[in-house]
Structure 1
Amino acid sequence: MTDDHVPRRFELVREEDVSKTSGTGVVAVGVEYPDGAVHMQWRNAENDGLETDANGCAFKPAPDGLAATEEIHGHDGRTTVRFLDDVDERQ
């Protein structure tokens, strides 16, 4: 049996906060599902620059979920997706 049905966890890592909204470092965590959909939760409650205790969520549908996430939140390469699970572990 293969693990191709298991989601892959990731962190959204921001080197520079051009919008001055989410801060730097790990600003969100998420999963990429095997069909390509992405679900992500912002770490807003851990950002001293925001006055909120809530973490917003974002969903990008398959099959372009990861590409859409990087296009929307990547800030021209200033934010990257860092996978926590090796893709080889899913095969």
Structure 2
Amino acid sequence: MTPKLFHLQRDRDVSGVSGTGRVANGVLWPDGTVAVRWVGDRPSTVHWDRIADAEAVHGHGGATRLVWAEAQQPTTLSPAERTMLDYALNQAQERIWSDDGFTDEDQAAVDSLRRLTADQPAAGADRG
């Protein structure tokens, strides 16, 4: 797997700090970690263990979208990967619904991951 490029597109500036538009550039590394480089007058770089964590913190409940660079969408999921991802997302959803410690950002991260994978058929799936 090669690194995948993306940027954060902010449609609504919830914090009043970053403004709207392309607010950061990022890399999803082959080991699943993420680096995000903020643009603007005070640039900085943040590292995350998982892309879901970056989306949960910076997504602001859907106000900021992760946009993959053209031709750099994550690879098609194998049937086993699809099953594991669906299981993990369902477990996360159950925890969000049952635990007051989870936030709207956590829900947004689960929703975002579901959207990212919804358009990617499992490897070998009939594209018919």
TM-score normalised over the length of structure 2: 0.55
Pick 1 or 2: higher relative contact order, CA cutoff 8 A, min separation 6: 1
Which residue matches 1:35? 31
Partners of 1:87 and 1:57 lie apart in 2 by 22
Structure 1 or 2: larger strand share? 1
Structure 1: which 5+ runs fail to align? 46-53
Partners of 2:5 and 2:33 lie apart in 1 by 12
TM superposition outliers: structure 1 runs of 4+ over 4 Å:
none
TM-score normalised over the length of structure 1: 0.75
The alignment covers a number of residue pairs equal to 74
2:52 to 54, 64, 67: 67
Partners of 1:76 and 1:87 lie apart in 2 by 22
Structure 1 or 2: larger helix share? 2
How far residue 26 of structure 1 moved from its aligned partner, in angstroms, is 0.5
Structure 2: which 5+ runs fail to align? 76-128
Q: Percent identity between the aligned chains?
A: 37
Query: Does the 8 Å CA contact 1:44/1:56 hold for their aligned counterparts?
Result: no
Kindly indicate whether residue 70 of structure 2 is the aligned counterpart of residue 86 of structure 1.
no
Partners of 1:87 and 1:72 lie apart in 2 by 21
Partners of 1:34 and 1:24 lie apart in 2 by 29
